[in-house]
Structure 1
Amino acid sequence: MNYLKRSTLYLTHKKGQSLLLLLIMSAILVFVLSGIIIQNAAVSATNSVTKSAGTTISVSANRNKMFSKMRSSASKSKTKTITTPTVSNAKLKKAGSLSTVAYYNITNTASVNASSFDTVSTTTGSQGGGMMKGGASGASTGNITIDGVSSTKLTSSFISKEDKIVSGRNITTSDANSKNVVIEKELASSNGIKVGDTITVKMTTSGKKSIKLKVVGIYKAKSTSTSSMPGSDPSNTIYTSYTLPATITGTEGKSSTVTYTLSNSAKEKSTTKKIKSIINSSSFSVSSNDESYQQLLQPMKNVQAFAKKIVWLVAIAGTIILGLIIILSVRTRQREIGVLVSLGESKMHIIGQLFSELFVILIGAMVIALLLGNFVGNKVGNQLLAQQQTTSVTSTSGANGGPGGGGAPGSSQTGGGMRGGAMTTQSTTSSASKKALKTLNTSISPSSVIKLGGMGLVIIALAVCVSAISILRLRPKDILIGE
Structure 2
Amino acid sequence: MNLFKRAWWRLTGHLGKTLMLGGLFFVICTLVLSGFLIQSAAARAAESARNSVGAVATMQLDLNALLNSGKMQQGKDPGQPGFIGAEGDLQRSLVDKICKSSVVANCNYRKDSVAAPTDQVKLHQPVPAPVGQDNRGADFFKADGVRDLEAVSAFRNGDSRLVAGSGIKPDSKSDMVVIEERMAKDNHLKVADKIKLKAIVRHPDGRIGFKEIGFVVGGIYRNNSADTGTYVPPMMAPSNQIYVTPGGATRLDSKEVGADGGVLNQATFTLRDPADLGQLKLDAQAAGVDLKIFPLTVNDKQYKTLVGPINKTAGFASITVWLVALAGTVILALIVASSLRERRKELGILLSLGEKKPKLLGQHLVEVAACAVMAIGFAAVSSQFLSQAIGNQLLSGEVSSANEAAANEADKPDPSDTLGMGGDNESNEPEVKPIDHMDINLGPADIGKVGATGLGIAALATLIPGARVLRLHPRDILTKGD
Tell me the TM-score range normalised by the shorter chain: 0.7 to 0.9
User: CA shift at 1:473, angstroms?
Assistant: 6.8
User: CA shift at 1:337, angstroms?
Assistant: 2.9
User: CA shift at 1:408, angstroms?
Assistant: 5.5
User: CA shift at 1:119, angstroms?
Assistant: 2.1
Give 1:425-440 correspondences, 5 Å limit. Answer: 427=429, 430=431, 432-433=432-433, 437-440=435-438
For 1:9, the equivalent position in structure 2 comes to: 9
Q: CA distance change for structure 1 residues 100 and 223 in 2, over 3 Å: closer, same or farther? A: farther
**What SS does the aligned partner of 1:280 have?**
coil
Distance 1:297 1:279 in 2: 35
Give 1:135-284 correspondences, 5 Å limit. Answer: 142-179=139-176, 181-205=177-201, 206-214=209-217, 216-222=219-225, 228-249=232-253, 250=255, 252=257, 253-256=261-264, 257-281=266-290, 284=294
Distance 1:194 1:262 in 2: 37
| Cα shift readout 1:134-156 (whole Å, capped 9, x = no counterpart) | xx9x9666521111111221012
For 2:330, the equivalent position in structure 1 comes to: 320
Q: CA distance change for structure 1 residues 391 and 424 in 2, over 3 Å: closer, same or farther? A: farther
Q: Which moved more, 1:317-326 or 1:46-55?
A: 46-55
For 1:25, the equivalent position in structure 2 comes to: 25
* 1:167–1:219 Cα contact (<8 Å) kept: no
Q: Show structure 2 runs of 5+ residues with no match.
A: 202-208
For 2:41, the equivalent position in structure 1 comes to: 41
* 1:407–1:421 Cα contact (<8 Å) kept: no
Q: Which amino acid aligns with 2:448?
A: I
1:463 equivalent in alignment to 2:461: yes
Q: Which amino acid aligns with 1:14?
A: H
Q: CA distance change for structure 1 residues 142 and 251 in 2, over 3 Å: closer, same or farther? A: farther
For 1:59, the equivalent position in structure 2 comes to: 59
Distance 1:272 1:303 in 2: 32
TM-score, normalisation: structure 2: 0.82
Q: CA distance change for structure 1 residues 381 and 214 in 2, over 3 Å: closer, same or farther? A: same
Q: Which amino acid aligns with 1:172?
A: K
**What SS does the aligned partner of 1:345 have?**
coil
Q: Which of residues 353, 357, 367 in structure 1 aligns to 2:377?
A: 367
Q: Show structure 1 runs of 5+ residues with no match.
A: 122-128, 412-417
Q: Which amino acid aligns with 2:198?
A: K
* 2:162–2:221 Cα contact (<8 Å) kept: yes
Aligned residues: 460
Q: Which of residues 421, 436, 447 in structure 1 aligns to 2:424?
A: 421
For 1:113, the equivalent position in structure 2 comes to: 116
User: CA shift at 1:479, angstroms?
Assistant: 5.7
User: CA shift at 1:77, angstroms?
Assistant: 7.8
**What SS does the aligned partner of 1:352 have?**
helix
Distance 2:477 2:270 in 1: 76
| Cα shift readout 1:416-470 (whole Å, capped 9, x = no counterpart) | xx86616745x25x1x43xx54433433333323322221121111211243256
**What SS does the aligned partner of 1:130 have?**
coil
| Cα shift readout 1:331-361 (whole Å, capped 9, x = no counterpart) | 3333333333343334433222211111211
Distance 1:169 1:6 in 2: 81
TM-score, normalisation: structure 1: 0.82
1:337 equivalent in alignment to 2:337: no
**What SS does the aligned partner of 1:173 have?**
coil
User: CA shift at 1:410, angstroms?
Assistant: 9.2
Q: Which amino acid aligns with 2:440?
A: T
Give 1:51-130 correspondences, 5 Å limit. Answer: 51-64=51-64, 72-73=74-75, 85-115=88-118, 116-121=120-125, 130=127
Q: Which moved more, 1:383-392 or 1:148-157?
A: 383-392
* 2:110–2:146 Cα contact (<8 Å) kept: yes
Q: Which moved more, 1:143-152 or 1:66-75?
A: 66-75
| Cα shift readout 1:206-262 (whole Å, capped 9, x = no counterpart) | 335353442521221438789844422222111122220111211512131221111
| Cα shift readout 1:182-205 (whole Å, capped 9, x = no counterpart) | 222333344444444444322232
Q: Which of residues 441, 444, 447 in structure 2 aligns to 1:443?
A: 441
For 1:126, the equivalent position in structure 2 comes to: none
Q: CA distance change for structure 1 residues 153 and 245 in 2, over 3 Å: closer, same or farther? A: same
Q: CA distance change for structure 1 residues 410 and 223 in 2, over 3 Å: closer, same or farther? A: farther
Q: Which amino acid aligns with 2:112?
A: T
Identity among equivalent positions (%) equals 27
